[in-house]
């Protein structure tokens, strides 16, 4: 528990367990679907945060003969899994909201208001606990988005509880549920796609023309081909390529070229470079090697 990020996940998990229990009880007593849907959402958050916490611990393990790259992608897997779970839940809440909208039921607004205020306070605290780490970790960002969506939902539920308590407008409850599910779906989709792109080793918007320009600006380099650029984790972007160089270069000169290219590519956010030097082989090949001709 000495690790700060692990400690943050612990407190966020504890707060969400409290929120979930309170909202399940409050939703059952008050009859509020919005409150119950928020409780289901928070229940999923508890599982998501535990998953993120475990992934955070796994990612800190050292490289070994089995995982030569290490365990950094454990957090990306967790973010992808969390995103899929949130997409499923948001669709479920949307359907439930539509069904309740056509059959509104009486709701105890005051109970709904008290419980939603408790949930809002805990969600805001949880959000601030993980906010700093969310700037550098996709896993933490997925957790932060959970907290943010919960906080926004709680604000909506609080306002809805006030409307229900004063004006007895019960249909506002499913409307809030539908709105919250749409917002959650959008946020979950973005996190899931980003995590999927990393897992699929997608180019993280690196300009290959700029890569070509920087590499060819190095002395004795005549061509670059068979280029692969991908984001391995939140903090590691990798490039693997073949370069054609002048003949008769020795190992010392090649090492100098490798170092110069790696330094130049750092300006593009590429921080792990692997190069293979060749003289004439592949001299006419393009940067991206096509396995099959169109």
More confident site: 170 or 291: 170
CA distance 134 to 273: 26
Nearby residues of 170 by Cβ (< 8 Å), 6 or more positions away:
104, 105, 106, 107, 164
What secondary structure does DSSP assign to 24-43, as a single string?
HHHHHHHT-HHHHHHHHHHH
Question: How much is the pLDDT for 3?
Answer: 61
| DSSP type of residue 223 | E
- In the chain the domains, ranked by start, together with CATH numbers, are 1-199 (1.20.1510), 206-276 (3.30.70.1350)
CA distance 132 to 128: 8
Check whether 294 has a pLDDT greater than 60. no
| % pLDDT > 70, the chain | 93
Check whether 238 has a pLDDT greater than 60. yes
- Look up the pTM and report it: 0.72
């Amino acid at each position: 528990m000495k690790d700060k990020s692990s400690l943050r996940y612990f407190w966020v998990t504890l707060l969400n367990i409290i929120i979930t229990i309170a909202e399940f009880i409050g939703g059952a007593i008050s009859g509020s679907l919005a409150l119950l849907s928020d409780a289901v959402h928070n229940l999923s958050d508890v599982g998501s945060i535990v998953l993120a916490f475990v992934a955070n611990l796994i990612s800190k393990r050292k490289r070994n003969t089995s995982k030569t790259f290490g365990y950094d992608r454990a957090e990306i897997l967790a973010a992808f899994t969390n995103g899929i779970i949130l997409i499923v839940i948001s669709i479920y809440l949307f359907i439930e909201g539509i069904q309740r909208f056509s059959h509104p039921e009486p709701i105890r607004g005051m109970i709904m208001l008290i419980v939603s205020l408790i949930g809002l306070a805990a969600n805001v605290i949880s959000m601030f606990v993980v906010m700093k780490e969310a700037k550098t970790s996709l896993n933490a960002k997925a957790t932060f988005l959970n907290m943010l969506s919960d906080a926004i939902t709680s604000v909506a539920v609080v306002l809805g509880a006030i409307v229900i308590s004063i004006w007895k407008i019960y249909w506002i409850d499913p409307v809030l549920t539908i709105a919250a599910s749409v917002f959650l779906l959008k946020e979950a989709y973005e996190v899931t796609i980003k995590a999927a792109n990393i897992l699929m080793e997608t180019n993280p918007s690196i300009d290959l023309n700029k890569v070509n320009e920087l590499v060819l600006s190095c002395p004795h380099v005549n061509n670059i081909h068979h280029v692969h650029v991908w984001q391995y984790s939140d903090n590691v972007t990798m490039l693997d390529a073949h370069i054609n160089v002048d003949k008769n270069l020795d190992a010392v000169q090649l090492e100098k070229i490798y170092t110069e290219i790696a330094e130049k590519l750092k300006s593009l956010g590429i921080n792990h470079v692997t190069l293979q030097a060749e003289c004439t082989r592949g001299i006419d090949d393009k940067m991206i090697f096509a396995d099959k001709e169109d």
